């Protein structure tokens, strides 16, 4: 997805932002540190030298709100057009996010679709729909690590296995 966003939107850089605590999830299997490490490994394995992992959300108290993250990065580089990558599932419920009007005002959204999905226009929101046809799903990986190991880079799969992440107990 990052490579498609990089190419379609001609991005200079993609910054991955693992949340310490998501306001929409009730706990996670991997710790914030483990998710940060897996992202770093995946970027190295994939040779994505135009991408990096930020520890901004990881190093602040949770829950992680996107508008605060957007505000932080806009304050660092106010002349940059900041994009936010998400799927249609999140695009459809973005009005439930904290402070959606701040997000609308400060970001351009890159909305990834799965087969046949339509990205609904939202008045006042800037977005680009990006068709994406990969079967990978984080939910599927978490529920059946062994059956979906091939969706991960070799380094990430080895790290998750070594750390005992996503293993059935």
Residue 169 resides in a domain: no
Residue 166 resides in a domain: no
Q: What is the mean pLDDT of residues 101-109?
A: 97
pLDDT digits (tens, 9 = 90+) for 24-54: 555 557 888 898 999 999 999 999 999 999 9
Residue 165 resides in a domain: no
Residue 167 resides in a domain: no
Q: What is the mean pLDDT of residues 102-116?
A: 93
pTM: 0.85
Residue 66 resides in a domain: yes
**Residues spanned by the domain of 138:** 2-160
Residues forming beta bridges with residue 163, ordered by sequence position: none
Residue 71 resides in a domain: yes
Return the CATH number at 8.
3.40.50.620
pLDDT digits (tens, 9 = 90+) for 71-94: 999 999 999 999 999 999 999 999
- For residue 46, count CB atoms less than 10 angstroms from its CB and return exposed for 0-12, middle for 13-18, buried for 19 or more: middle
Residue 47 resides in a domain: yes
Total of domains in the chain: 1
Q: Is the pLDDT of residue 167 over 90?
A: no
Residue 168 resides in a domain: no
């Amino acid at each position: 997805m990052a490579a498609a966003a990089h190419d379609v939107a001609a991005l200079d850089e993609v910054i991955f932002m693992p949340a310490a605590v998501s306001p929409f999830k009730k706990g996670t299997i991997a710790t914030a540190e483990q998710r940060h490490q897996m992202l770093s490994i995946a970027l190295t394995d994939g040779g994505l030298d135009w991408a990096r992992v930020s520890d901004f959300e990881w190093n602040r108290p949770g829950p992680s709100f996107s508008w605060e993250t957007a505000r932080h990065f806009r304050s660092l580089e106010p002349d940059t057009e900041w994009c936010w990558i998400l799927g249609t599932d999140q695009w459809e419920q973005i009005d439930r996010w904290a402070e959606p009007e701040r997000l609308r005002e400060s970001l351009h959204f890159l909305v990834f679709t799965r087969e046949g999905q339509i990205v609904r226009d939202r008045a006042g929101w800037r977005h680009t729909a990006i068709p994406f046809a990969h079967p990978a799903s984080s939910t599927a990986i978490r529920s059946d690590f062994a059956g979906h190991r091939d969706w991960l880079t070799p380094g990430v799969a080895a790290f998750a296995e070594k750390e005992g992440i996503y293993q059935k107990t």
